[in-house]
Structure 1
Amino acid sequence: MKNSVTGFFLAWQFFSSVPVNKQLHMNKKSVTWMYASLPIIGLIMGSTLGTGIYLIWSFSNLSNILLAILLVVGMIVLTGGLHLDGWTDMSDAFFSYGDKEKRLAILDDPRTGAFGVISVVCLLLLKVGFIFETLEKGQMEVIAYIAVIPFIARIGMLLYFLTMPTSKKTGLAAYFKGEVITKMLWLILTIFTAIFIILVCYFKFLNLLIVFIVMIVAILLYRKWTTKHFGGMSGDLLGALGEGLEVLLWLVVLFCI
C-alpha cells in the first residue's frame, strides 16, 4: 500500500507540473507503481479539464474554438509540456535524415531546431482543430472523451514502454526500464484495461472500443517505426507517443460521433 501511494505521487512529480513538495523513496515497487499510475494521472487531468469545459460551456457564451484552445493549453499546463518536449526532440532527430547514432545524439541535445518548432506547431494546430470540430457537434459525450482520451493514450504509452527495448543502455528510460517489475506492471495494466472495457460495455459507450483498438494498432506501427529509425525506445520517444496518440485519438473520435 505504501509503495502504491509513493508511486502515485512519484507519477505526479515525473509526469506533471503539479508540485509535490515531499521527498519520496524510490525502489522497484514504487517505480513500478509510478508507471502504473500514469493512466490514472491522465484520467484525473482529463476529468479536471472536462469539468472545466463543461462549466464554461454551461455558463458562458465562449466560442468552441476558444474552448478547444483552452483545453489544449490546459493540458500543456498540467503536464508541464513534458511530452511536447519529447515530440519536439523526436521531430528534430527524425528530420535530420542522419543515421541512428546521429538521431540519438540529437534526442539528447537540449537545443530545439527548426523542424522541432514546425512539427510542434502542426501538432497543436491539428489537436485544436480536431477538438473544435468535435465540440461543434454539440454532444455532451464530448466531455467523456476529454476525460478518457488522456487515459487511453497513457495506456498506450505503458504498452510501448513494456514491449520495447531501449535504444541506449544509459539514460532515464534505460534506468526505469531496469527498475520496474515487469510482471507486476503487466498485471496492473491488464486490470485497468479490463475495468475500462467492462465500463465501456456497461454504459454502451462502444465508440471508445474503436478508439482503444486504433490505439493498439498505432502502438504496433510506432514500435516498428522507432525500431527502424532509432533502434528502440527513449524517454523522448515515449513522450512523443503520448502527444501523437492524443491527436490521433481525437481524429478517430471526430469520425465516430
Structure 2
Amino acid sequence: MRENTKAAAAAFQFLSRFPVKTQLEFTPELMTRSTLFYPVVGLCIGTCVWIAAWLSGFLLPPAPSAVLVLTIWVWLTGGLHLDGWMDSADALLSYRSRERMLEIMKDSRVGAMGVIACVLLLMLKATLLYSLMGQTFLMGAAVLPFLWSRFFMVYAMGKYPRARAGEGLAGMFSGVQNALLYKVGAVTLLLSAISCGLFLYAAYTVDGPPFAWSLHMGVILSAFFVIPLCIWACGKWAADRISKRLGGLTGDIYGALNEGLEAVGLLLLVILTTIMH
C-alpha cells in the first residue's frame, strides 16, 4: 500500500468511525504522516453532520433535530476528543501541581469537573446547531470549524513541547515539523476554499433576488476569513496558557483544543449570520 494511502487510512481510523478496514501498525512515523489528512477527516465529519442536519429538518422540529445531529456528530468521532476535553477539565480545573494534573489526565475515571465541562460543551454545541438549522446555504462555511480545529491540533503538535517528554499519545506526533505543518495548512485552506466556493455557486444558482445572493456571499466570505483567524487566535491563547502550566501539551489537550475550537467556530458563524441578517 502506498505511504499516502496508509497515512490517510490511519487518520480516518484514529479520528473517526468511518469504516476503513485496513490493518495498520500505528508507528510514530505513520501517525506523523497521517496529520496531513486531518483536515480531510474534518471535512468528511462536517459534511456528514450538516447533511444529517438538512435531512432531519424535513422530519423534526429544530430542537430535537439539533440533539439528534449532535449525537451523530459525537458518534462519528467516537468521542475521542470529548474524552480529552473531560480529562483536561478534570486536571486543569483542579488547580493542583503540574505532576498531579498530569496524573489526573492519565486516570481513566472522570471527575465532577470533567462531567460539568462535557455537559456545558454539549449544550453549547446543541444550541449552536439549533441556531443554524434550516440555513442550508451556510453548509460550505459550516464545515470550516471542523477543518480549522483539526489544523490547530497539528499546529499544536508542531509548535509546543510535550508535557511528558515523549511519553503517551503526544509522543507519537513528535515528528511534526514546520514543513509538514505548512502542507497541512495548505490542504486546510484549499478544502475551505472549495467548500465555500461550491456553496456560493449553489446560492448563486438557486437564489433569484440579487439581495439574497449578496447576503449569502457576505456571510460565507466573512466566515472564510474570520473563522480561521479566530480559531488560531483562541487556540494559541489557550495552548500558551496550558503549556505554561503543564510544561507542554498532551494528547488529551490536543483533543480538548479540537473540541473547544469547533465550538468557537460555530459560535462565530452564528454571530456572523445574526449580524448580517
TM-score, normalization by structure 1: 0.89
The structure 2 residue matched to 1:83, chosen from 81, 84, 90, is 81
Aligned equivalent of 1:172: 169
How far, CA to CA, are the matches of 1:63 and 1:97 in structure 2?
A: 42
Deviation at 1:184, TM superposition (A): 4.1
C-alpha deviation, 1:127, in angstroms: 0.9
Once the two structures are superposed, the pairs formed by residues 24-173 of structure 1 within 5 Å of their partners are 24-26=24-26, 30-57=30-57, 59-60=58-59, 62-135=60-133, 138-169=134-165, 170-173=167-170
Please give the secondary structure, in 2, of the residue aligned with 1:165.
coil
Give the Cα–Cα distance (whole angstroms) in 2 for the partners of residues 249 and 168 of structure 1.
29
Residues 1:223 and 2:239 aligned together: yes
- Offset at residue 181 of structure 1 (A): 5.0
Distance 1:147 1:70 in 2: 18
* 1:250 pairs with 2:250: no
1 CA distance for matches of 2:189 and 2:113? 39
Q: Determine the structure 1 residue equivalent to 2:209.
A: none
The structure-2 alpha-carbon separation of the partners of 1:49 and 1:190, relative to structure 1 and needing over 3 Å to count, comes to: closer
8 A Cα contact 1:152 1:212, kept in partner: yes
Mapped contact 1:42–1:154 kept (Cα < 8 A): yes
What is the one-letter code of the residue matched to 1:39? P
2:17 aligned residue: 17
Cα shift at 1:88: 0.4
* TM-score, length-scaled by structure 2: 0.83
The alpha carbon displacement at 1:193 in A equals 4.0
Output the CA distance in 2 between the equivalents of 1:142 and 1:193: 18
Q: Supply the AA of the counterpart residue of 2:171.
A: A
Offset of residue 14 of structure 1: 1.4
Distance 1:116 1:16, change over 3 A: same
Supply the distance in 1 between the matched residues of 2:41 and 2:109 (Cα, whole angstroms). 28
| Deviates further, 47-56 or 110-119 | 47-56
Q: CA deviation at 1:74?
A: 0.8
Displacement, 1:5? 0.6
Q: 1:186 to 1:229 in 2, by over 3 A?
A: same
Between the aligned partners of 1:67 and 1:214, the Cα distance in structure 2 is 28
Letter in 1 for 2:190: I
CA 1:83–1:117: 2 relative to 1, 3 Å? same
C-alpha displacement of 1:175: 2.8
Structure 1 spans left out of the alignment, 5+ residues = none
Q: Aligned AA for 1:206?
A: L
Match of 1:210 among 215, 219, 226: 226
Aligned length: 251
Q: CA deviation at 1:75?
A: 1.2
Displacement over 6 Å in runs of 4+: none
Larger displacement relative to structure 2 (13-22 or 206-215): 13-22
Deviation at 1:73, TM superposition (A): 0.9
Report if the CA contact (8 A) 2:142-2:266 is conserved: no
Distance of 1:218 and 1:153 partners within structure 2: 10
Q: Give the conservation status (yes or no) of the 8 Å contact 1:48–1:147.
A: no
CA deviation after TM superposition for structure 1 residue 97, in Å? 1.2
Letter matched to residue 127 of structure 2:
G
What is the CA-CA distance between 1:72 and the residue it aligns to?
Answer: 1.3
**Range moving further from structure 2, 197-206 or 181-190:** 197-206
Confirm or deny that 1:4 pairs with 2:4: yes
Q: CA deviation at 1:31?
A: 2.7
Q: How far is 1:176 from its partner? A: 2.3
